[in-house]
Structure 1
Amino acid sequence: MNTTDITIEQFNDLVQWVESTRKETGRTYHLYAIVDGVLDESLLSQVQQKNVPWRGLYPDTMLEANNPATGPFLIALLPDNAGHAELIQALLRRGQGADLLLWAVSAQPLPLLAAHLHCYAEVTLPDRSAALLRYYDPSILEVLVRMFTPQQFDHFLAPIREYRYWREGWQTIAGKDEEQPKAALEQYIALTGEQYEQLSNESFAETLFHQIRSELLAPIAQADDHQCIQYIRKLLARAVDSYKLKKQNDLAFFSLIGLNVNFEFDAHPDIAKVLLSSSNDEESLSSRLSNIDATVWDQLLRDGHAMKA
């Protein structure tokens, strides 16, 4: 199926999603998209050219609100409007292979939903510093709904009937769909140490991908961003859990080998022996693996690539 076919299929799915929700509940619902502008700063201008209603999702009190095109923004869409339909399909095409879009159905009007999401622009970390919360990134959203306390979960999802995002098919997160909006939080939520660790582990895979993407070789270099990040996430989990790697340079090197050479390179007995042996904390992983014979790496390349994992 080519990109045009997928886009049409996704568009029809969104239309059916809204219509079926209205019929099921007898209530009026709106289709929304949360766009991650930092991944494509041109998208907000396209929204404005179509005169589609939107709101920035950084509150005015934040410095980031001065440049809404590079932040997350919320748009309200009417699929039966020709201009809106064109924009929806343009967004779907642009979002192929990237975590650019989060779709939502909600009974709340645009201003109220935007005000609610402003409460989640930042979080307070265990050291009491503030950090942006990328809840509109589907990978982060998946972690949040697992790690939130029941009270945090209920408040966050209160105005949402359902979130959807595309991962080789629609993935959904059910909301609370409350008719009356929740009161705004008096302050940003404070993450516990355990919550922060879960969120950091998730975010690190994406951060690392952007750091090493220029070093990726074919065929993994042709994979979409999301697929690469998923591979990195699995490699990082193995590096930390099985070999107790902690340094960022070592984790990056481990991931690069897994992506460029062979996803299961560490299963080779010569490499596993090095990885499982105790080492000088100052010695880098690249140095530790430098004595592995070239024939081992050649064999790993012939045996298969990360794309088969």
Structure 2
Amino acid sequence: MPGRFDVTFPDFGATHSGDLFLILDGARIDAPRFIYERDDRPEMDLLYRSTPHEPVKEVSPCIVRPSENSRLRGDVNNWRSDGIAIESSADIHMLGNHLRSLISVRLPDGALAYLRFYSPSQIEPLLSSFSDHELTRFSGPVTRWHYFAPVDGWKTVEVPGTSESQEASNEGWFQLREEHLRAIEACNEAVFRKKLVHQAGWPVTPESMSKIDQIVLRARSFGFQAQGDIATYAELACYYGERLEEPNALAVLKSEDKPAGQRLEIIDSMMSYGDT
């Protein structure tokens, strides 16, 4: 939505400090340890606590309100890829319960699915595809979302109003639409292609993205679908270039009697030992 996003670095040390919360991804980092190493008196809770997901609470997302002198505020570079920041005037109990209600959401076919809303790469397409009404209902007591985008830097999303806070027991109440799923898929694909650009050692520019687009298209023409296989093909393509288009290489890449991983291993060996 025009005007919704603000691409400026949020001053976590000054602005609305009492209303600031972080949500860290426990599947990516040891969130409690990370927090206690940087904050002597944090107000913290595991979102999987007292939910059906408690048996795997060791990977639970963790919500924390940093204390006044918390080092978390000045150490954003060490958590910006592993969590997000939000602002809310609600207490941690009310806010935590609302966030627990979003751990799972309804897909268009009615099935339940985990929603990693605390992941910068997943919250971006969601917030960008929500209508104002959806954003307000989804956010509940949250007034601002802050997350780090690898290319654009920090983004802040203002919520146009507040909505009723949900209880943890209502998990699954929020319904995703096909439009939301397409936005998530498109964003994940864009992130993957940017990673391929970084893997190639190129700056992220329209020209480098166009090159990667062509490489990905070529990889898929050979039947490579898994991101790992496409990444391997892209690495080979960037290193060996047009040698992958030589007849012997094409014969291997197009062979349908060998799995993708084996074909790529053969190509790597052929290129390395000059067997083409």
Bin of the TM-score, shorter chain as denominator length: 0.5 to 0.7
Q: Which residue among 196, 203, 208 is the counterpart of 2:181?
A: 196
Query: Match of 1:181?
Result: 164
TM-score, length-normalised on structure 2? 0.65
What is the correspondence of 1:104-253 to structure 2 with a 5 Å cutoff? 104-126=86-108, 128-148=110-130, 150-167=132-149, 169-178=153-162, 181-184=164-167, 187-193=172-178, 195-200=180-185, 202=187, 220=199, 235=212, 239=216, 243=220, 247-249=224-226, 251-253=227-229
TM-score, length-normalised on structure 1? 0.59
- Is the contact between residue 84 and residue 118 of structure 2 (CA under 8 Å) also seen in structure 1? yes
Query: Match of 1:92?
Result: 76
Percentage of pairs with the same residue: 17
Aligned-residue CA RMSD (Å): 4.8
Unaligned stretches of 5+ residues in structure 1: 1-9, 20-28, 298-309
* Greater relative contact order structure (CA < 8 Å, 6+ sep): 2
Matches of 2:126 and 2:246 in 1, distance apart?
Answer: 34
- Classify 1:156/1:257 alpha carbon distance in 2 versus 1 (closer, same or farther; 3 Å): same
Between Structure 1 and Structure 2, how many residues are aligned?
Answer: 248
Query: Match of 2:19?
Result: 30
Matches of 1:111 and 1:131 in 2, distance apart?
Answer: 24
Query: Match of 2:32?
Result: 44
Matches of 2:96 and 2:214 in 1, distance apart?
Answer: 35
Secondary structure at the counterpart of residue 228 of structure 2: helix
Cα deviation, residue 122, structure 1:
0.9
Query: Match of 2:6?
Result: none
Cα deviation, residue 197, structure 1:
4.7
- Is the contact between residue 103 and residue 165 of structure 1 (CA under 8 Å) also seen in structure 2? yes
Unaligned stretches of 5+ residues in structure 2: 1-8
Between structures 1 and 2, the one with greater helix share: 1
- Is the contact between residue 122 and residue 132 of structure 1 (CA under 8 Å) also seen in structure 2? yes
Secondary structure at the counterpart of residue 21 of structure 2: strand
- Is the contact between residue 240 and residue 246 of structure 1 (CA under 8 Å) also seen in structure 2? no
Query: Match of 1:6?
Result: none
